[in-house]
Amino acid sequence: MRHDGRHRRSITTTLAAAAMLAIAGCATTPPKTPEETPPPPVASVPEPAPPPAAPAPAPLPKPPPAPLRRDVTVVFDADTASAAATAAAIAEALPPQQYRVVTVDSANLAPPTPRSQPTVVIAVGRAAVDAARARFPGRPIVFCQVFAYEDVLKGGGAIWGVHSLPPLALQLKAWQTIDPTLRSIALILGEDRGALATEATNAAASVGAEMRLETSHSDRETLYLFKRLAGQVDGLWLFPDNRVLSPTVLRELLSYANSHSVGVLALNESLLRWGALASAASVPADIAETVRLVAERVAAGRTQDLPAMTPLRAAELHVNPAVAAALGLPRVAEQHWVARDPD
């Protein structure tokens, strides 16, 4: 029995030790780490798109090439007082960026060297035209201040002109401003003035006036023809035709016109002192600008539709108030003005 008791005590001891070991084992085992709760998902924010790349700068434009400068020779009539001033005005009107201009009188014009041939020659006056043709054969010529332009054009070649007279219709409109009663006009020209006669007749018709046209062969015949017409016309239109006019005849003609109440329109202001009613002269600035435009076309080779003669666009008017009063005409507002076409 004792043996059973000891046996029971041994089993009890063993069980107690095992329990103690189990408890000890539980004490020494580390506790489990609690599972971490994952953070809530964060909404993803899209990254901003990169700014568009700046466009490549456009290449700088190439500077335009320097304009070609052309050589121009301006020749003026050495024997005409106003030709030098007109030549100077033309030279000043030609832009220096485009032209190299040489101005010389017709008496001192020398033949060019092979390397100094001008692109275009501008001739002021008939003597200048003749000198240009002789010194620059074959070179294009633009001329002005030549009344008998038909004779110049007959010579042929590359030549273009600018009229020496202000626009004829513009002159007549200004004349009717001075004399509202003007209805019939006498015009006496030398031979071979057919183009001018036609233009004058058309201009008179455009202002409602009648043209009485006569052809003269001398200065004395001009005076005779006018005396025959004086009782039939309101006015006499004097053109600078030296073949049929002279200073002596001009004085007689103007005196006869005043005594028969015929107003005279002349193309030179100096004739007002001799008894002309008015003068209608070309304007230097208008001549220079018109010549420049024609010369530019000739220099550039754009002559296909360039007329042989290009008209001016302005007229400088002067009135003799004493003659106007003697003719019983109304007083005009101005005694000196510039009319333009169209005005």
Phi, psi values for residue 51, rounded to 5°: -60, 150
Task: Kindly report, residue by residue over 86-134, the tens digit of the pLDDT.
Answer: 999 999 999 999 999 999 999 999 877 766 789 999 999 999 999 999 9
* Average pLDDT score over the chain: 87
Confidence band, pLDDT 50/70/90 cuts, at residue 333: confident
Whether pLDDT at 45 is above 70 = no
Predicted local confidence at residue 24, as pLDDT: 44
Least trusted range by pLDDT, from 68-77, 213-222, 269-278, 316-325: 68-77
Is the pLDDT higher at 16 or at 79? 79
The string over 272-306, giving b where at least 16 C-beta atoms fall within 10 Å of a residue's C-beta and e elsewhere, is bebbbbbbbbbbbebbbbbbbebbbbbbeeeeeee
Give me the residue label for tokens 């004792």: 2
Is the pLDDT higher at 308 or at 66? 308
| Cβ pair 256, 227 in contact under 8 A | yes
Is the pLDDT higher at 29 or at 187? 187
Confidence band, pLDDT 50/70/90 cuts, at residue 200: very high
Is the pLDDT higher at 36 or at 163? 163
d(CA 81, CA 126): 13
Predicted local confidence at residue 39, as pLDDT: 59
Confidence band, pLDDT 50/70/90 cuts, at residue 22: very low
Pairing of β 99-105 and β 263-266? unpaired
d(CA 314, CA 84): 20
Is the pLDDT higher at 11 or at 152? 152
| Cβ pair 74, 102 in contact under 8 A | yes
Pairing of β 120-124 and β 141-144? parallel
What angle, rounded to 10 degrees, do the helices at 284-299 and 83-93 form? 50
| Cβ pair 287, 145 in contact under 8 A | yes
Specify burial of residue 30 (Cβ count, 10 A radius: 0-12, 13-18, 19+). exposed
Give me the residue label for tokens 């003609």: 253
**pTM, entire model:** 0.77
